[in-house]
Chains A and B, each alone.
Chain A
Amino acid sequence: MKLLTKTGLNFISASIFFFFIGSLGGYYFIRYAVNKMFNNELLEAQQMVEANGGAGLSYADVHVDTLNLRLDTKQYAFTDTVMQYGADSNYEFYRMLRYRRPINNGQTVQYTVIRSTAPSDLMVMKFTLMLAVFPVIFFLILYLVNRASIKYSLSVFYDTISKLRSFDVNKDNRLDLMTSDIDEFEQLNEVFNAMERKIKEDYERLKEYTENTSHELQTPLAIINARLDELIQADNLHEEQVKNLAGLIETTNRLSKINQALIFLAKLDNRVFSEAEELDFIALVQKELNNLDVLIADKQLAVKVESKGGLQVTMNTSLAHTLIQNLLKNAIRHNVQGGYIHIVIEEYQLRISNSGVTLKHAPEKMFSRFRKSSQHPQSLGIGLSIVKRICDISDIAISYKHKDNEHIIQLLFNK
């Protein structure tokens, strides 16, 4: 729930509650004041009747009765009552005073004073209505003003959020958060700005470290290679020794390949490959297929290239070659004997589908580093992660899906 919605809802529900209580209180207070006024008027009328027989009394009706009732003191009571004058007329509300006063011979005189409350009821209604409507309007205005003001103050906050969301440690751009006249947001942005600098610095250092380490490993690897090569040339080796040496050579080779791949990834991250030119992907795919034709023939794969439209893309040549080469090698390596590779090239789109065995791991993990299937000890499991990085920095959307025994990799180029 948005902050604005939340505070708005709180405001509205609190206002409705207090408003309801306030209006109710107002209604009863008015009612009480009006009754008080009526009571005074009724008493006044009674006194006028007692004094001069009710001359000049216009606002109330007074009945005087004599009751056979013994009373010690005066008594009076105010009540609300409903009466009907004439058979056809409506019931009306009246305020009534019943005043009893003992007279000498053990009898009591009773004054019944009534006065219609109809005009004042209308008044009370109007007052109550006013009490309800004006605050509603008042609160509504208050709410809208408040909302606009909060929204304006929060704009910096939303800007920060959207910039943080699009933050990519790999990209060159700075975070550049807006400045705000609100201290809290200003502090928050300062913290984020500092954090961004720190993250970038650390990341740079880490990349530098990886690259330097990888480069430093090259010379020791060269020495191991050279020594192993000398050893294997000896004529007097047992079969067992040859086997051990072969294992060592294989392992050293793996090590150097991993190292080279890591260096390449570091280079990708450092944007060494920034020069771009316009490339024809149909020609590129054909060229890479030619390079791999022996491998394709060896697995007896049927390769079909279908071009439904030209695909001209501006990107780095060596990256494009590596991308296509890795994808094709992958399609060949994970294929079955006598399988197929089907390449479809469309405008802004390249799709490679190949036959193969069912995937053992989750397709989402396809592009993570060192993910590999156990049947291919030769593969390092780093090829597709290189593919992913190349796609990332070249603005290509890559997706993978598999259906039964068919694996499809699709590249969507930015228009």
Chain B
Amino acid sequence: MKILVVEDEPQLAQSIQQFISSQGHSCELAPTLSDALHRIDNLFDIIVLDLNLPDGNGLEVVKKVKQNNMLTGIIILSARNSLEHKIEGLELGADDYLTKPFQMAELNARLKSLVRRVHFNGEENIVFNELEISPGQLLVKVKGRVIDLTKKEYDLLVYFIANKNRVLTKTGIGEHMSKDFMDYGFTDDLIYSHIKNLRKKLIKSGCADYIKNVYGVGYKFTDAP
């Protein structure tokens, strides 16, 4: 998968690049708007786009992608957490919107779900050992048997699998679960309750206990012992 990161802040751009590379994708950086406009072509699967660029508004990139009917998915990164900006970006044709500061795990989950949407119309199943998730129907199967999860538990499982083998902080999980516009302060105890319930359901249906507690930090979804 080929990803273009349009971000003027070198430190952040570098972090994103490192992260994407570590996930096994190829990643290129464009620090300015003109650079980005110059480089976009059909070969990029996804563009991660900062809106406040030194030489102009990042929305120009969205416009160009849509005008040329490219199949490229776009995730907007913005420091402005306002509904209007969000709506404007999404209306122009961006696929997702992430507010700074964001968690890498969150960006990763969004990237993966976007790839599924762009390339497989969301029909590709996510498989992890005995677990099988059909994102199109929001179905989760363990060894072929459907298990009943709430919307939040389902979200949590998909997020865990997208970030498998990574330490996920409680903060990151909290932010992922609070998708509402002004829902800050998703408490640790709430996350704990959700994870406890999800774990219980998975184990009951015969799934191995993949959700490991990382003391003091958060959780890790892994099949490593």
Contact = CB atoms under 8 A, between A and B. Distances in A.
Contacts of A252: 101
A242 B214 CA distance: 9
B124 interface: no
Interface string B85-106: 0000000000000011111110
B16 to A, nearest CB: 7
Nearest to B167: A232
Contacts of B82: 267, 272
Contact of B217 (A242, A260, A297, A378): A242
Contacts, number: 110
Contact of A225 (B83, B103, B167): B103
Contact of B18 (A230, A239, A380): A230
Nearest to B183: A325
B15 A294 contact: no
Interface stretch (A36-44, A82-90, A216-224, A350-358): A216-224
A215 B103 contact: no
Interface stretch (A3-11, A52-60, A195-203, A243-251): A243-251
A298 B193 contact: yes
Contacts of B189: 295, 298
B127 interface: no
Contacts of B102: 222, 225
Nearest to B150: A294
Contacts of A225: 101-104
A239 B83 CA distance: 41
Nearest to B83: A318
Contact of A264 (B79, B100, B182): B182
Given A215-B79, A229-B105, A294-B193, A246 B182 contact: no
A100 to B, nearest CB: 116
A226 B185 contact: no
A222 B182 contact: no
Interface in A221-269: 221-227, 229-230, 232-233, 239, 242-243, 245-246, 249-250, 252-253, 256-257, 260-261, 263-264, 267
Contact of A322 (B11, B77, B182): B182
- How many A residues are at the interface, by size bracket? 35 or more
A218 B79 contact: yes
Q: Which of A219, A230, A333, A383 has the most CB of B within 10 A?
A: A219
Contacts of A379: 185
- How many B residues are at the interface, by size bracket? 35 or more
Interface string A283-313: 0000000001011011000000000000000
A329 interface: yes
A157 to B, nearest CB: 44
B184 A261 contact: yes
A321 interface: yes
A246 B216 contact: yes
Interface string B152-193: 100000000000001101011000000011111101111011
Contacts of B101: 218-219, 221-222, 224-225, 252, 256
Contacts of B9: 219, 223
Contacts of A249: 169, 171, 217
B188 A243 contact: no
A123 B6 CA distance: 111
Nearest to A329: B185
B215 interface: yes
Contacts of A378: 185, 187-188
Interface string B136-160: 0000000000000000100000000
17 contacts: A219-B100, A226-B104, A227-B15, A229-B19, A229-B169, A229-B172, A232-B169, A239-B215, A242-B214, A245-B217, A246-B216, A257-B185, A263-B81, A267-B82, A272-B82, A318-B83, A321-B182
Query: Closest 7 A-B residue pairs measured CB to CB?
Result: A226-B15, A221-B101, A222-B101, A218-B79, A246-B216, A253-B171, A218-B100
